[in-house]
Chain A
Amino acid sequence: MHNVKYTTASVFKYLTLILGALAALIPIVVVLFASLKTNAEYASTGPLTLPDNWLNFSNYTKAFVDGKMLLGFKNTLIILVISIVGATLTGSMMAYILSRFKFRGSALLMGAFLVATLIPAVTTQVATFQIINSLDLFNTRWAPILMYLGTDIIAVYIFMQFLDTISESLDESAMLDGASYWTIYWRIILPLLKPAIVTVIIVKGVNIYNDFYTPFLYMPKSDLQVISTALFKFKGPYGSQWEVICAAIMIAIIPTLVIFTALQKYIYNGFSQGSVK
């Protein structure tokens, strides 16, 4: 049935696929080229010219050291880990309560979480800033951490969707054995939520790693720079040294590339589940 016939349709199909792939790749590949060129080489060659020496990492050293990228990675990692652990715990607890118990106000609570997703966080920054400030959290890592926990409520949804597929008879049989609700949550529900936890880690991890405005607005102190803000700082002083900026861009991209290649399957699943509310 599926004989490969080189009809016009299939030529068109592969042509568009190749064009699409080129459009996705070329903007990144030229940055890789530029990052491996020397200053003189960069000035004398076009963006599509291959670098002379594929192992010229001097721009990378310069970007990494001068841009204090290590500090950026460290801060990003701290914020990432605490936010994800926090979102997993608070999200799964809230989802457990909402999906397993019907109590006065539970519908209202569910509604409150639903409506909150309609508020684009970027619109309320003006007032959120004052709240962070009055809590004395400005210029601390807790500012982004609490905001990632409080405003991005996607974890609650992912867990609630998944909890619907876990039969309540499991809870009930554990109750017959005298297990407390805490034991049911901690020993039965949480371990079964593992696939949903992977989704939360991926979706939140990517969002947090890539977020710019939260750290930019709430942690301007240079000791607290994350990858996004460290990269943004290259804009002024390195205005003409594109080969160094390009190396900095690659440094920010490489972790994403490594994780994407390693966890492809989980990432696809995570995003197609995580974004359909």
Chain B
Amino acid sequence: MFKLSDMSYKNQRILIILLFSLVPIVLLFTFAYLPVIKMFQYSFTSWNGLSKTMEYVGFDNYKTIFTKPEYFAVFKVSLYYFFATFVQMALALYFATILSFNVRMKNLFKGILFFPTLLNGVAIGFIFLFFFKPDGTLDTILQMIGLESLQQKWLLNPKLINISLAGASLWRYMGMNFIIFLGAISSIGKDIYEASDIDGANRWHQFKHIILPSIRRILQLNLILAVSGAIGVFEIPYVMTGGSNGSGTFVIQTVDLAFKYSKLGLASAMAVVLLGIVLIVTILQRVLIKEEA
């Protein structure tokens, strides 16, 4: 019988490298790189996704995106989510900081603040449809605390809709930032706090001079994720409003163009633009962070 251990380590090495990397490489290429290549190719055609032939149209699709305002306007929507992410990270940092010191019922608070992050995206969409609907949760709470005058058509008013949706997104992802920050803060040695206590530092000093510098890298990494996250927003607005009332994001528009209106060429060009922006932002920030360090 053939036995692997009878082979020399040199031959075994070659065999095992080939065997172990074959499947992961094929999967990586087929589902991560091939789509990017194909997307570039489609973006120069007027293909509808079905016909056997593709007509080459040069840069027409890109011209359409950059000259027709309705295609590019959706980027404005990302800004709402982008700002929401800052609020989200600030809240996460605040809660992570206070929960890394002595607090009663620490674990309960930690669990409650983190739990929303684990929930199913569609469930969250529905929860917030219920929350924002007329006479829904939010309106009822406002009435209860005597602020009826603030009741709004949260998801029907085009001026408010993106703020409401970005709020739902904040609720969903705050816990993730929170738990990452909490993990980073807890890896700071106790002795540093003790030493600073002796030096008469208060909590604010400790936050500014101990916590903030030691989790800076993680803050920066999360900021990168925030930018690409804001550009790639899809699930919450798609489940809740389907992109109506001016809540359509770049990804919703791309998916609709490709799968609803069969404009695969144009959709691919949009996806290429999107990918380009995400990559530029990410690389730029990684380079900046490296230079600082």
Using a CB–CB cutoff of 8 Å, the interface residues on chain A facing chain B are: 1-2, 9, 13-14, 16-17, 20-21, 23-28, 30-31, 34, 46-48, 90-91, 93-94, 96-97, 101, 103, 109, 112-113, 116, 118-120, 122-131, 146-147, 149-151, 153, 156, 175, 178-183, 185, 206, 209-213, 217, 227-229, 231-232, 234-235, 242, 245-246, 248-249, 252-253, 256-257, 260, 264, 267-269, 271-273, 275-277
B130 neighbours in A (Cβ, 8 Å): 27, 30-31, 34, 47, 242, 245-246
Complex-state Cα separation, A256 to B175, whole angstroms: 15
How many whole Å from A15's CB to the nearest CB in chain B? 11
A21 touches B113 (CB 8 A): yes
B184 neighbours in A (Cβ, 8 Å): 272, 276
A231 touches B12 (CB 8 A): no
A181 touches B182 (CB 8 A): no
Q: Which of A30, A103, A185 has the most CB of B within 10 A?
A: A30
Q: Which one of A96, A151, A235 contacts B32 once the chains associate, using CB atoms below 8 Å? A: A151
Q: Which residue of A lies closest to B278 (CB)?
A: A120
Complex-state Cα separation, A276 to B3, whole angstroms: 40
A119 touches B275 (CB 8 A): yes
A-B pair number, CB within 8 angstroms:
271
B12 neighbours in A (Cβ, 8 Å): 180-182
Q: Which residue of B lies closest to A91 (CB)?
A: B24
How many whole Å from A88's CB to the nearest CB in chain B? 12
The secondary-structure label for the interface of chain B is: helix
Q: Which one of A34, A120, A231 contacts B120 once the chains associate, using CB atoms below 8 Å? A: A231
A27 touches B131 (CB 8 A): yes
A272 touches B180 (CB 8 A): yes
A183 neighbours in B (Cβ, 8 Å): 4-5
A47 touches B5 (CB 8 A): no
B127 neighbours in A (Cβ, 8 Å): 27-28, 31, 249
B39 neighbours in A (Cβ, 8 Å): 124, 126-127
